[in-house]
A and B are shown apart, each in its own frame.
Chain A
Amino acid sequence: MISLPDELLARVDADAERHGLTRSAMLREYAVAVLDERSAQLARGMQALDGHASDHGGDVVGQLKAGRPR
């Protein structure tokens, strides 16, 4: 159960009417749009860090485990 101010709900309902959707469907669309944009921002950030890798020997799992105290 989510609680929203009346003024915000009125705006959601107006938008839902414009799109021919129910209030619930409109809220689902908002959630999907925001979460998809977050994933796109994550992807863009990750891609900006690409292209700098170098040869570190090719055994990341071995390196990882060697650094863990037993």
Chain B
Amino acid sequence: MILVDAGVLLASEDSADAHHEDAVALLGAGIPLATIDLAAYEVTNVAEVRWRDPAAGERLRERIWLIAAFGRLVRVDRRLADLAAQIARERELSGYDAAYVAAADALGVTLASCDERDLVRPGLAALPRDCLPGK
């Protein structure tokens, strides 16, 4: 199972993003996928508020409901929030990034992210292309 952050989902809708093709391939690869409830709000904020593309927002939310139906949608609880807070303090991450790291850690799975600076280079996540089958 791979836990995808909001950036991977968003990259599937931005054809100009360097990770677009890899994100599309990862989401459709037939790998068990997970994400967290925060992703629903984050993709909505970017697609609807920043891009002003409601159709993209609808497709992105549909991707999250597919993960909820056939993979795993992790919802916040006290244990996860406490773990995210600890990771944010120790790794000097935003609470948002720490939430994805904490959820992947709690499930014991790899976090896929397009955030090279804050998550991939520090070893907290892998790029979508490195999560594809056979990698």
A residues bordering B, Cβ < 8 Å?
35, 38-43, 45-47, 49-50, 52-61, 63-68
Q: What is the interface size of chain B, counting residues whose CB is below 8 A from a CB of the partner?
A: 44
Contact B24 A50 (CB under 8 A): yes
Taking a contact as CB atoms closer than 8 A, the residue among B16, B24, B63 that contacts A56 in the complex is B16
Distance between Cα atoms of A41 and B19 in the complex (Å)? 24
Cβ of B73 to closest chain A Cβ, rounded Å: 12
Tell me if B11 counts as interface (CB < 8 A to partner A). yes
The answer to whether B7 touches A60 (Cβ under 8 A) is yes
Minimal Cβ-Cβ distance residue in A for B16: A58
Interface of A is mostly: helix
Bound: A68/B42 CA distance, A: 8
Residues of chain A contacted by B101 (CB below 8 angstroms) = none
The listed residue (B13, B30, B66, B71) touching A53 by CB distance below 8 A is B13
| Chain B, range 82-108, C-beta contacts under 8 Å to A | 94, 96
CB distance from B18 to the nearest CB of A (A): 7
B28 in complex: contacting residue of A43, A60, A67, CB < 8 Å: A43
A57→B16 contact, CB < 8 A:
yes
With A46-B27, A64-B46 as contacts: A53 and B51 at CB distance below 8 Å: no
Q: Does A60 contact B46, Cβ atoms closer than 8 Å?
A: yes
Q: Evaluate whether A49 and B59 lie within 8 angstroms (CB atoms) in the complex, with A39-B31, A64-B7, A67-B42 already known.
A: yes
Would you give the shortest CB distance from B82 to chain A, in whole angstroms? 20
Give the docked Cα–Cα distance between A41 and B10 (Å).
21
